[in-house]
């Protein structure tokens, strides 16, 4: 998988979360093929950034964890509930 393909997966995941925050991918440089993905976001507009671990391991394991994370945390397209007038 090329870096452009990985970037596309991260951008698509961010879009499914409603552009909330950003994902960071960190690769190890010590000869192991390991990485981890974190999600950086602001819980409130004026708060400091917070970080959640998304996944770690091989690149494939990280991207699988990213898909699971987004499935649980994605923005839901729910119509507002309208109350009937009495």
Q: What's the 3-state SS for the chain?
A: CCHHHHHHHHHHHHHHCCCCCEEEEEECCCCCCCEEEEEEECCCCCCCCEEEEEEEECHHHHHHHHHHHHHHHCCCCCCCCCCCCC
State yes or no: pLDDT of 79 exceeds 60. Answer: no
State yes or no: pLDDT of 80 exceeds 80. Answer: no
Q: Give the global pTM.
A: 0.78
Q: Would you kindly state where each structural domain of the chain is located, as residue ranges?
A: 3-73
Class of the CATH domain delimited by 3-73: alpha beta
Which of 84 and 75 is assigned the larger pLDDT? Answer: 75
Query: For residue range 3-62, what is the model confidence (pLDDT) as tens digits?
Result: 999 999 999 999 998 878 899 999 988 877 799 999 998 888 888 989 999 999 999 999
């Amino acid at each position: 998988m090329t870096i452009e393909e990985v970037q596309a997966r991260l951008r698509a995941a961010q879009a499914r979360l409603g552009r909330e925050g950003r994902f960071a991918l960190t690769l190890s440089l010590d000869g192991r093929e390991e990485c981890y993905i974190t999600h950086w976001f602001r819980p409130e507009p004026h708060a400091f950034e917070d970080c959640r671990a998304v996944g770690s391991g091989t690149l494939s394991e990280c991207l699988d964890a990213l898909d699971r994370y987004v499935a649980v945390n994605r923005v839901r397209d729910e119509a507002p509930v309208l109350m009937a007038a009495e």
